[in-house]
Amino acid sequence: MQIPAYRGRDNKEQIAFVQDGEPLNFNAAGVTAASVMVNGETLAAEITGTNNNVISFKPGNLTQRPGVYDAFVVVISPEDPAGKVIAGPGQAVNLSVKVFI
């Protein structure tokens, strides 16, 4: 999955997560925070959606030069206080961001 990132724009992108055909409820799983990492830069993310299974973030806040970069969704929980990668290269959801000016 490739997410477009138009620098300086405040559009929100959303990624919905499912497990075994059902929405993955991050709150029920103990997730307290999420972020998206792109080429060493971290973007704040929100857990949203009716089933709390959507990660929402603003890719336009990136300061990277135009190009395609690997992206990683990281979630924080009491079990993983340093964060756990749940999407990105090598994960079930392969994620990249294409930055435009």
71-87 per-position pLDDT tens digit: 999 999 999 999 999 99
Q: In which band, very low, low, confident or very high, does the pLDDT at 43 lie, cut at 50, 70 and 90?
A: very high
CATH code of the domain containing 95? 2.60.40.3350
Q: pLDDT band at residue 101, thresholds of 50, 70 and 90?
A: confident
pLDDT at 70: 98
Q: Which of 28, 30, 101, 98 is nearest to 70 (CA)?
A: 98
| Average pLDDT in the chain | 95
Query: What pLDDT, on a 0 to 100 scale, did the predictor assign at position 24?
Result: 92
For residue range 25-42, what is the model confidence (pLDDT) as tens digits? 999 999 999 999 999 999
3-state secondary structure string, 31-97? CCEEEEEECCEEEEEEEECCCCCEEEECHHHCCCCCEEEEEEEEEECCCCCCCEEEECCCCCCCCEE
Query: At 18, is the secondary structure helix, strand, or coil?
Result: strand
Structural domains counted in the chain = 1
Domain that holds residue 83: 2-100
Helix (H, G, I), strand (E, B) or coil at 98: strand
